[in-house]
């Protein structure tokens, strides 16, 4: 396992089965310039790999923060979201939906995951301001996927046994790549 990040370290995307992805992340205690630098670097890594969300453990940083931009377009900076210490609560009576998900830590792997279609989320932004929102559709999906990362839960743990069997070979390949690096 690689050591914890130090201030100023270059962030790099971490792939399954790197242990940091299974660890429950700690709260961010202080939103300082280093936290803001890392959030910016995470957005860049997310764009570079064609993602719409990225959680801190995916860059080896075991703290509760994730970034998102549902457009995936680096030009659309107004769509950028940063969630620090997010808390998700279920919306009463929310229906569940199954949707194909990918994860940058799993390269091209896509699996159908069932999750509530609507959630409530409360988090802090990079200015230290608390915000709350009702997320639906793709945002609800993204927030739940990313908050799972902060709890060390991966999307492959949210699928049926049948689906798990189907991706066995793909996971073996990822394990092999990881062992060779």
Active site residues: 146
**Rounded distance between C-alpha atoms, residue 167 and residue 93, angstroms:** 32
- Kindly state whether residue 150 participates in binding Zn ion, applying the rule CB under 5 A: no
Q: Choose the binding region for Zn ion from 76-84, 102-110, 126-134, 169-177 (rule: CB under 5 A).
A: 102-110
- Kindly state whether residue 31 participates in binding Zn ion, applying the rule CB under 5 A: no
Query: Considering beta carbons, is residue 31 or 150 the nearer one to Zn ion?
Result: 150
Closest residue to Zn ion: CB criterion: 103
- Kindly state whether residue 147 participates in binding Zn ion, applying the rule CB under 5 A: no
**Rounded distance between C-alpha atoms, residue 110 and residue 91, angstroms:** 26
Query: Considering beta carbons, is residue 34 or 62 the nearer one to Zn ion?
Result: 62
- Kindly state whether residue 5 participates in binding Zn ion, applying the rule CB under 5 A: no
- Kindly state whether residue 113 participates in binding Zn ion, applying the rule CB under 5 A: no
- Kindly state whether residue 123 participates in binding Zn ion, applying the rule CB under 5 A: no
Tell me, residue by residue from 50 to 89, as one string, x for binding to Zn ion by CB under 5 A and - for no binding: ----------------------------------------
- Kindly state whether residue 103 participates in binding Zn ion, applying the rule CB under 5 A: yes
Residues that bind Zn ion (CB under 5 A): 103
């Amino acid at each position: 396992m690689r050591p914890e990040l130090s201030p100023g370290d270059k962030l790099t995307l971490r792939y399954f089965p790197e242990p940091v992805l299974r660890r429950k992340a700690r709260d961010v205690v202080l939103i300082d310039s280093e936290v803001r630098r890392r959030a910016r670097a995470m957005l860049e890594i997310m764009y570079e790999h064609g993602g719409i969300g990225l959680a801190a453990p995916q860059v080896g940083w075991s703290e509760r923060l994730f970034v998102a931009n549902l457009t995936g377009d680096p030009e659309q900076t107004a769509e950028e979201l940063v969630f620090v210490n997010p808390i998700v609560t279920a919306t009463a009576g929310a229906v569940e939906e199954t949707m194909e998900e990918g994860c940058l830590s799993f390269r091209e792997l896509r699996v159908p995951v069932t999750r509530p279609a609507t959630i409530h989320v409360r988090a802090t932004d990079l200015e230290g301001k608390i915000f709350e929102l009702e997320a639906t559709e793709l945002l609800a999906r993204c927030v739940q996927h990313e908050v799972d990362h902060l709890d060390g839960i991966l999307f492959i743990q949210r699928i049926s046994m049948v689906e798990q069997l189907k991706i066995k070979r793909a996971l073996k390949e990822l394990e092999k790549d990881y062992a060779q690096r």
